[in-house]
Amino acid sequence: MSLLEYLIKLNLGLLLCLALYWLAFRRLTFFQWNRFYLLGSLVLSLTLPLLNMPVKAFLPAVAEMGGINWTYVDHLVSVPEVSTQHAETFSPWSLVLAIYVLVTLTLLIRSAWKFRKLRRSMKTSLRLSNGRIQVYLQDRRTGSFTLFRRIYLDRHAYENYSQFVIRHEMAHALQLHSFDLLIMEFVIACLWFNPFVFVLKRFIRDNHEYLADSYARGEKGSLVEYLECLKAETLRNFAPVPASYFKSSTIKKRIIMLTNHKSKNRNKFRYLGIIPVVALMMLLFHSPASQHTVRAGNLSAGITFPSVPLILNDGIPSRFPLPEAYKGKISWGYNQNAIHPISKKPTTHQGIDVPAPTGTPVYAAGGGKVLKAEEVEGWGKLVILEHTAGYSTLYAHLDEILVKKGEKLDAGKTLGKVGNTGQSTGSHLHYEVRKNGKPVNPADYY
């Protein structure tokens, strides 16, 4: 899976989770549930695209629907260029990568600078209490804020609204909201090009304020006084990162949530809506051809390879079956061990896998006779050629077969086109060379 494919999947997953939150949860007063949902949305969006999910085992109805053919996304970044004597060393993707790294470092440095500035302002603070939660008083009119287990009170707020402000900030400190914000600072620095991470951060910060407001207002009789406190503090401007702070620009939404009736417990069943969302993400992320990339080296059952030569033509396989530009693109080599994606057992590869765009011509590695030219379960569209001296070659997962059984071919003849048929999740050619029915290293024959 390419980086581009992963980022597209991440965006889709985050969009689906945020859409569900906006439609079903944002007006509910289950603020702790919403906090866990928002953080869980980030975790799901980051991890689900990386998992090899057995969709057929858990969601057979979803698996039958098929998914997106992500092969075409890979082609945007994996199509090799034809080598020339004056080939350019500049790559557009190198420029994109350089810009990405530069912006990411800039954002990380910016956050570190804000944090340092915040720490410097703390040095002049007067400690009011010690213990698990430490409270400090600042002379500067910075606004009250909380950083992890430390509460910093603005003197103006302390002298006028200490009861509400301390309770509000105590909620931030006890629930460690700063950890959520610190995580989002890092995620935004890494995924700054994704607009949905900024929306997610806004939802998380708003929900923090709803949590703290509901804790701070106390009895219903104090609501008017608490709203007066919010009004006064909103006129002051301070926004440290990654601190949680009393003043918030979401004052209108906070007032609405404060004056809302508490949501009824039966509304908690809405959170089961995450189940169809995860199912939809699994549908979008898996390949329609298969749930796993199963290599052709494990699919020998049902195919007969000759142990003696059937014809005498122009001999032993001697050329690479794809254009020369793809020689360095082998993704799984001969005799390499790997964990089978379905059985989870060690597997030895009997050929080579060469990623290439759908439609790339496939050539006969040597002169011979077509023994098989048909679609075979697991292998997809398959061609097997018989050569001299007991040799045979196999070409699997083709998009199109251009020869017929019994046809005699010269070396270099186009016999088909690269595809993504059979048990394969990416467009590639599986190529094998066999001698007397036993696999040998294809690299020795081109």
Query: pLDDT (tens digit, 9 = 90+) per residue, 324-360?
Result: 888 888 887 887 776 655 456 777 778 899 999 999 9
Q: Say what percent of the chain tops pLDDT 90.
A: 25
Query: pLDDT (tens digit, 9 = 90+) per residue, 355-374?
Result: 999 999 999 999 999 999 99
The 8-class DSSP code of residue 333 comes to -
Average pLDDT over residues 94-122: 84
Average pLDDT, the chain: 77
CB atoms inside a 10 Å sphere around CB 194: 18
Tokens 């004052």 identify what position?
A: 251
Domain architecture of the chain: domains with CATH: 3-79+91-282 (no CATH), 296-445 (2.70.70.10)
Element spanning 10, H or E: helix 3-20
Task: Return the bridge partners of 408, or none.
Answer: 369
Is 25's pLDDT higher than 70? yes
Peptide bond into 355 cis (omega under 30): no
The 8-class DSSP code of residue 271 comes to G
Query: pLDDT (tens digit, 9 = 90+) per residue, 216-261?
Result: 776 555 666 676 666 666 655 455 555 555 455 566 677 777 777 7
Average pLDDT over residues 116-141: 76
Tokens at residue 206, please?
Answer: 């708003």
380 and 398 Cβ atoms separated by less than 8 Å: yes
How many CA atoms within 13 Å lie on the side-chain side of 123?
Answer: 4
User: Cα angle vertex 393, ends 387, 398, to 5°?
Assistant: 135
d(CA 76, CA 33): 40
Is 68's pLDDT higher than 70? no
pLDDT at 168 (0 to 100) = 80
Tokens at residue 377, please?
Answer: 């379960």
Average pLDDT over residues 64-73: 52
Is 135's pLDDT higher than 90? no
Q: 279: pLDDT confidence band, cut at 50, 70 and 90?
A: confident
Q: Say what percent of the chain tops pLDDT 70.
A: 71
The one-letter code for the residue type at 443 is A
Q: 111: pLDDT confidence band, cut at 50, 70 and 90?
A: confident
